[in-house]
């Protein structure tokens, strides 16, 4: 399985699990709020799927699993059982080269990005998404994170990632393609991309800043990324032309946007069934989701998705909270520092 397909599969599975919950119970990213010139609204990313980092000494090796003695001082558990399956990516912490489970040695220090789901047992059991082995005793391991936003600079890009660090990348940064990808370039780094970054020094500023010597680029598993500044909504860096009846509006603290405009900008088709008052959104003749106008849920395959606000129709335009379209279209919400 290629790296891109792997992360796409993991993202879809984790989102499906999160979306079985009511909208209010789903995990939320840090909300984005508007300025004073626009009615206030909150925009969130539900169903966070980024794995949890842990590290420690391998105290036991089993068949397709290992036990870590946790080295994190503030951890709630002393040991963690980590399952390793065919979708677990194992890399050398120094070179970034692919390794196998047989390369892991009992007693060595291992960095793992797991879950975020784990059992309530003692010790907890979880599954690794990424393992780093061969960690030198005198050098820290690289850091794995998801891109929140990208800002162009004179000589490269500043990349804000999920562990609240700004990475300064330029032409001198060594870029590695993730396993399964052919090549990597700075232009491949967009919100939703995941990066494995090698750096040893960060500033004490907020957010912290670092200049990696090397970065491995994992293609985004999202279908695109979205941002909202006031009433301007952008998809993949391009502002949508939303005027007149199509203009976004704020109601009950949510930003409502036209479903058709967003869906068609993402290459989807939208149809309306008048007898059932249902809207169906499809891509390449495959149904993505459907919903009944006026209700607070949608259906994705066999999963019922709770919406943060009921959909509605005004002047022939079907509107939905942008929060919900982010979920239904598997979009990354761009978050600036």
Domains of the chain: 3-48+223-333 (3.30.457.10), 52-133 (2.40.50.140), 143-218 (2.40.50)
* Lowest-confidence pick of 12-26, 68-82, 203-217: 12-26
The predicted model gives 12-41 an average pLDDT of 50
Is residue 26 scored above 70 in pLDDT?
no
pLDDT, mean of residues 47-54: 84
- pLDDT tens-digit map of 291-334: 999 999 999 999 999 999 999 999 999 999 999 999 999 999 99
**Taking the C-alpha atoms of 239, 5, 130 and 98 in order, what is their torsion angle to the nearest 10 degrees?**
-120
Could you tell me the pLDDT band of residue 5, with boundaries at 50, 70 and 90?
Answer: very low
Is 120's pLDDT higher than 70?
yes
10 pLDDT higher than 60: no
Scored b (16 or more CB within 10 A) or e, 35-70 reads eeebeebebbbbbbbbbebbbbebeebeeebbbbeb
Distance of CA 237 to the CA centre of its chain: 17
10: three-class secondary structure by DSSP? helix
pLDDT value, residue 8? 45
**Alpha carbon 27 to chain centroid, angstroms:** 12
pLDDT at position 23 over 70: no
Contact in structure between 239 and 233 (CB atoms under 8 Å): yes
Mean pLDDT of all residues in the chain? 89
- pLDDT at residue 336 in the model: 87
Average pLDDT value for residue range 52-57: 93
- Residue 16 pLDDT more than 60? no
pTM of the model: 0.86
> Could you tell me whether strands 165-170 and 208-210 are parallel, antiparallel, or unpaired per DSSP bridges?
parallel
* Residues 225-278 pLDDT 10s: 999 999 999 999 999 999 999 999 999 999 999 999 999 999 999 999 999 999
Whole-number pLDDT of residue 115: 87
pLDDT range class, residue 79, cuts 50, 70, 90: very high
pLDDT mean over 7-29? 42
Q: pLDDT category, 137, cuts 50, 70, 90?
A: confident
Comparing CA positions, the residue from 325, 305, 191, 302 lying closest to residue 254 is: 325
Alpha-carbon gap, residue 222 to 201, rounded angstroms: 30
d(CA 184, CA 324) in angstroms, rounded, equals: 32
Distance, in Å, from the CA atom of 202 to the CA atom of 211, rounded to the nearest integer, reads 8
Tell me the CA distances in angstroms from 102 to 87, 105, 141, 286, one per residue in order. 15, 8, 20, 41
- What is the C-alpha separation between 270 and 282, in angstroms, rounded? 7
> ∠ CA 132-56-59 to the nearest 5 degrees?
105
Which residues pair with residue 60 across a beta bridge?
67
Q: Is the pLDDT of residue 289 over 90?
A: yes
């Amino acid at each position: 399985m290629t790296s891109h397909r792997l992360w796409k599969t993991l993202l879809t599975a984790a989102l499906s699990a999160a979306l079985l919950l009511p909208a209010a119970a789903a995990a939320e990213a840090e909300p984005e709020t508007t300025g004073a010139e626009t009615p206030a609204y909150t925009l969130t990313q539900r169903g966070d799927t980024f794995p949890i980092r842990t590290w420690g000494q391998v105290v036991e090796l089993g068949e397709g699993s290992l036990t870590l003695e946790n080295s994190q001082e503030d951890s709630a558990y002393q040991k963690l059982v980590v399952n390793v399956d065919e979708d677990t990516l194992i890399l050398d912490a120094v070179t970034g080269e692919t390794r196998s489970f047989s390369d892991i040695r009992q007693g060595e220090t291992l960095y793992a990005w797991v879950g975020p789901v784990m059992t309530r047992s003692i010790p907890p059991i979880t599954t690794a998404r990424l393992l780093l082995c061969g960690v030198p005793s005198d050098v820290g391991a690289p850091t794995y994170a998801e891109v929140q936003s990208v800002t162009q600079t004179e000589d490269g890009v500043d990349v804000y990632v999920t562990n609240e660090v700004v990475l300064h990348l330029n032409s001198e940064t060594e870029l590695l393609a993730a396993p399964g990808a052919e090549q990597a370039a700075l232009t491949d780094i967009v919100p939703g991309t995941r990066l494995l970054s090698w750096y040893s020094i960060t500033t004490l500023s907020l957010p912290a800043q670092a200049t990696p010597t090397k970065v491995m680029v994992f293609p985004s598993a999202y279908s695109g990324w979205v941002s909202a500044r006031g009433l301007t909504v952008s998809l993949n860096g391009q502002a949508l032309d939303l005027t007149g009846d199509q203009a976004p509006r704020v109601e009950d603290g949510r930003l409502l946007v036209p479903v058709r405009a967003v869906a068609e900008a993402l290459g989807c088709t939208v149809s309306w069934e008048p007898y059932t008052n249902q809207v169906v959104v499809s891509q390449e003749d495959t149904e993505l989701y459907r919903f009944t106008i006026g209700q607070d849920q949608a259906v994705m395959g066999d999963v019922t998705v709770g919406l943060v606000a009921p959909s509605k129709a005004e002047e022939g335009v079907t509107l939905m909270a942008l929060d919900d379209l982010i979920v239904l279209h598997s979009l990354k919400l761009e978050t600036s520092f």
